[in-house]
């Protein structure tokens, strides 16, 4: 049978990364993006889950409403306001099955095939693929060490007046690690207002700051109902529970709810009850402090190792948080060749072109992750990257 797939899905190319990393199964995984397992609040999860199934098993097992469990929404409203500084009376919150679902819901609610989405370049491949799967035309704007190039953004907005939204990861961007300065956030917001374009602000890593000061969310500036804020518990509690939340103008939230009803009806009830009771018990601030210590140690271990061993081969900006280091290989080292050779030598990193809109464009960057490997894995991985570069010389 010759299947007649939809145009956007038929047009999706097989992943170049997958091909390159196909045989990286037994390597040290500096290519992944999993949170560190020792950052999971395992004993809280055990205790709270047992309590839920003891006291409210039917609530945990029955259908729930699409918007999310009401008491959880109340806790999230408080958290969004007090902890993230986002959400006004014009906004409402819905609970989603991980922040990726927000990209999917926003795409479904806003994109007609051929519509333009403006994104940082490089940017998170998962989100780019989601927009692509909805037939979006992606237009990239370069990322600098203090976030998106706002002059280039203005030029792009002048040309792309019909663009539906700007997709940004302002904190510890994936893959660049860059954090957008407050000045740039204000400028982006003003531009969005001027050009009548929405902002989709994705903040999965915001709590993983290990140096420097927090920068207010773009959503905190949102007096005009222009910003959709994507929050996630994947890096705070754990990704396997699939819980995120979206703060957006109520008119948009209503449409996102309709779309969510057609996608998965509602988010797993036990996961929602777990997050609710965990927040309600006031666990979050201490836990974030604890995981920041873990990520600070791992980030510094990776960067110190890189400084000691790789400074002849690559350059990078030390990020102030997040999960990733984005490094530029020195002239003369072919990036694709380097990634393939490294994989054969026992360490995997992600080729930077994967994060470009046109993944066949030339790219000298690699992305390294420090949250998935053990501390020993980080040290050994960087050593293998050095040996790879030496061999190739």
Write out the binding residues for a copy of itself, residues 37-56 only, by CB under 8 A.
37, 40, 42, 45-46, 49-50, 53-54
Q: What is the dihedral of CA 105, 147, 375, 23, to 10 degrees?
A: 60
Which one of the spans 248-256, 304-312, 355-363, 375-383 is the region binding a copy of itself (CB under 8 A)? 248-256
Taking CB under 8 A as the criterion, the residue among 19, 55, 61, 390 binding a copy of itself is 61
Q: What are phi and psi of 43, to 5 degrees?
A: -70, -35
Please answer whether residues 296 and 210 qualify as being in contact, where contact means their C-beta atoms are separated by less than 8 angstroms. Answer: yes
Could you give the 3-state DSSP secondary structure of residue 292?
Answer: helix
Taking the least distance from each CB to a copy of itself, the nearer of 13 and 393 is 13
What pairs with residue 247 in β-bridges? 93, 229
User: Shortest gap between Cβ of 202 and a copy of itself (angstroms)?
Assistant: 14
CA-to-CA distance for 81 and 85, rounded, in angstroms?
Answer: 5
Q: Is 262 in the site for a copy of itself (CB under 8 A)?
A: yes
Q: Which residue has the tokens 């990726």?
A: 100
Q: Which of residues 70-109 bind a copy of itself (CB under 8 A)?
A: 97-98, 100-101, 103-104, 108-109
Using rule CB under 8 A, residue 242 touches a copy of itself: yes
Least distance to a copy of itself, CB of residue 223, Å: 11
Q: What share of the chain is helix, strand, coil (3-state, %, to 5)?
A: 45, 15, 35
Toward a copy of itself, which CB reaches closer, 98 or 322? Answer: 98
Question: In this chain, which of 22, 112, 282, 332 binds a copy of itself, going by CB under 8 A?
Answer: 112
The answer to the question of residue 253 lying near a copy of itself (CB under 8 A) is no
Tell me which residue has tokens 């009548």. Answer: 196
99 or 215, CB closer to a copy of itself? 99
Residue 145's SS3 state is: coil
* Binding of a copy of itself by 221 (CB under 8 A): no
- Positions in 131-170 near a copy of itself (CB under 8 A): 133, 164
Q: Which stretch binds a copy of itself (CB under 8 A): 22-30, 224-232, 295-303, 346-354?
A: 224-232
Q: How far is CA 259 from CA 92, 100, 315, 365, in A?
A: 16, 14, 43, 37
Region near a copy of itself per CB under 8 A, out of 266-274, 323-331, 343-351, 357-365:
266-274
Q: How far is the CB of 388 from a copy of itself (least distance, A)?
A: 27
| 87-92 contacts, C-beta under 8 A, 24 or more apart | 87/219, 87/229, 87/247, 88/222, 88/223, 90/225, 90/249, 90/250, 91/222, 91/247, 91/248, 91/249, 91/250, 91/253, 92/247, 92/248, 92/250, 92/253
- Considering only residues 22, 62, 282, 286, which one is a binding residue for a copy of itself as defined by CB under 8 A? 62
Among 111, 188, 246, 323, binds a copy of itself (CB under 8 A): 111
Closest distance of CB 82 from a copy of itself, Å: 26
Using CB under 8 A as the binding rule, whether residue 360 contacts a copy of itself is answered as no
Strand-pairing partners, residue 228, are 200
- 55 or 376: whose CB is closer to a copy of itself? 55
Q: Which of 83, 154, 160, 268 binds a copy of itself (CB under 8 A)?
A: 268
CA distance 117 to 137: 6
Q: Which residue in 241, 284, 306, 323 binds a copy of itself (CB under 8 A)?
A: 241
The binder of a copy of itself chosen from 177, 204, 231, 239 (CB under 8 A): 239
Tell me if 197 sits within 8 A of 162, measured CB to CB: no
Measuring CA to CA, which residue among 298, 245, 320 is closest to residue 38? 298
User: Please, what is the minimum distance in Å from the beta carbon of residue 85 to a copy of itself?
Assistant: 21
| Binding status of residue 130 toward a copy of itself by CB under 8 A | yes
The span from the CA of 297 to the CA of 342, in Å, is 24
Size of the site for a copy of itself (CB under 8 A): 74
Q: Which tokens go with 26? A: 């037994």
Segment 188-207, which members bind a copy of itself (CB under 8 A)?
A: 196, 198
With respect to a copy of itself, which residue has the nearer C-beta, 61 or 281? 61
Q: Report, in Å, the least distance between residue 211 CB and a copy of itself.
A: 26
- 359 is a site residue for a copy of itself (CB under 8 A): no
Distances (CA, A) of 378 to 1, 115, 184, 326, 372: 48, 41, 33, 15, 9
Residues β-bridged to residue 138: 117
């Amino acid at each position: 049978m010759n299947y007649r797939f939809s145009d956007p899905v038929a047009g999706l190319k097989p992943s170049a990364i997958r091909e390159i990393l196909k045989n990286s199964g037994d390597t040290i995984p500096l290519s992944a993006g999993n949170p560190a397992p020792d950052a999971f609040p395992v004993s809280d999860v055990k205790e709270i889950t047992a309590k839920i199934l003891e006291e409210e098993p039917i609530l945990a097992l029955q259908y729930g409403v699409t918007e999310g469990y009401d008491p959880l929404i109340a806790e999230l409203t408080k958290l969004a306001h007090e902890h993230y500084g986002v959400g006004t009376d014009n906004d409402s919150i819905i609970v989603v099955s991980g922040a990726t679902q927000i990209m999917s819901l926003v795409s479904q609610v806003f994109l007609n095939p051929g519509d333009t989405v403006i994104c940082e370049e490089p940017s998170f491949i998962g989100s780019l693929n989601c927009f692509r799967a909805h037939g979006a035309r992606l237009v990239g704007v370069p990322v600098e060490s203090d976030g998106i190039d706002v002059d280039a953004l203005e030029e792009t907005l002048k040309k792309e007046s019909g663009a539906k939204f700007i997709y940004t990861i302002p904190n510890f961007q994936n893959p660049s690690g860059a954090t957008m300065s407050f000045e740039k956030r204000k400028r982006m917001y003003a531009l969005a207002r001027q050009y009548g374009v929405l902002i989709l602000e994705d903040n999965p890593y915001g709590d993983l700051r290990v140096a420097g000061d927090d920068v207010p969310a773009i959503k905190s500036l949102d007096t005009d109902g222009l910003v959709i804020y994507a929050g996630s518990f994947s890096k705070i509690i754990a990704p396997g529970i699939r819980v995120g939340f979206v703060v957006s103008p109520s008119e948009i939230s209503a449409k996102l709810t309709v779309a969510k009803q057609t996608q998965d009806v509602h988010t797993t009830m036990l996961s929602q009850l777990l997050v609710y009771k965990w927040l309600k018990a006031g666990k979050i601030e201490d836990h974030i402090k604890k995981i920041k210590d873990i990520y600070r140690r791992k980030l510094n271990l990776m960067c110190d190792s890189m400084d000691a061993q790789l400074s002849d081969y690559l350059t990078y900006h030390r990020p102030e948080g997040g999960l990733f280091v984005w490094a530029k290989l020195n002239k003369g080292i072919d990036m694709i060749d380097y990634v393939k050779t490294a994989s054969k030598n026992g360490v995997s990193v992600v080729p930077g072109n994967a994060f470009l809109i046109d993944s066949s464009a030339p790219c000298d960057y690699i992305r390294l992750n420090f949250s998935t490997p053990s501390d020993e894995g980080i040290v050994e991985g960087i050593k293998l990257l050095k040996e790879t570069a030496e061999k190739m010389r």
